[in-house]
Amino acid sequence: MKIGITSDHAAHDLRVDLIPRLRELGHDVTDRGPASAARTNYAPWGARLAGEVAAGEFDLGIAICGSGLGISMACNKVKGIRAACVSEIYSARMARAHNNANILCFGARVVGPDVALALCQEFLTTQFEGGRHTERVAQLSQLEAGDTSFIEAAC
């Protein structure tokens, strides 16, 4: 499985710390930058990675900023992306198992290196369960396409 990872300046050091640790666990990780901890905005980095995940260049992505919130919002603006901002293991697992999330986001100012690694490992090793969750994920794609026809029937 090919994994792309990116961050803004606030999460640069955590990203750099995670890459070799993820590789040691057997993950094929590509660092998508930035190259330094110099101030940079999260939106371009998140959107670029999301575009690469959506295009199939990576199977899954990891995007990190100070809180995890801004970069997840940027990722979620890209068609085909389901980025989940998490800070604990259960949500990392459910993001994949129930929501088929394809980008994991978290905050470098929220979780430390060991929790970050645990979140990544949980996310990267959990499979989408399908079943009853398939229709729910399909509805997210419908919303993304501007189709809200299922809302009236449900609500």
10-residue mean pLDDT series, the chain (155 residues): 97 98 98 97 98 98 98 98 98 98 98 98 98 96 94 89
Does the global pTM surpass 0.85? yes
Query: Is residue 49 one of the residues assigned to a domain?
Result: yes
Tell me the backbone φ, ψ of residue 114, rounded to 5 degrees: -70, -40
Query: Is residue 141 one of the residues assigned to a domain?
Result: no
Query: Is residue 148 one of the residues assigned to a domain?
Result: no
User: Could you tell me the CATH number of the domain that includes residue 108?
Assistant: 3.40.1400.10
Secondary structure element (H or E) that encloses residue 143, with its range: helix 132-144
Query: Is residue 84 one of the residues assigned to a domain?
Result: yes
Please state, in angstroms and rounded to a whole number, the distance separating the CA atoms of residues 90 and 117.
14
Query: Is residue 153 one of the residues assigned to a domain?
Result: no
Strands 83-85 and 103-107, sheet pairing: parallel
Catalytic residues: 65, 98
* pLDDT score at 63: 99
* CA proximity to 103, closest of 36, 33, 1, 5: 5
8-state DSSP, 104: E
Query: Is residue 116 one of the residues assigned to a domain?
Result: yes
Which residues span the domain enclosing 70?
2-129
Residue with token string 């394809």: 102
The β-bridge partners of 106 are 64
Q: How many domains would you assign to the chain?
A: 1
* pLDDT score at 3: 98
Query: Is residue 144 one of the residues assigned to a domain?
Result: no
Query: Is residue 82 one of the residues assigned to a domain?
Result: yes
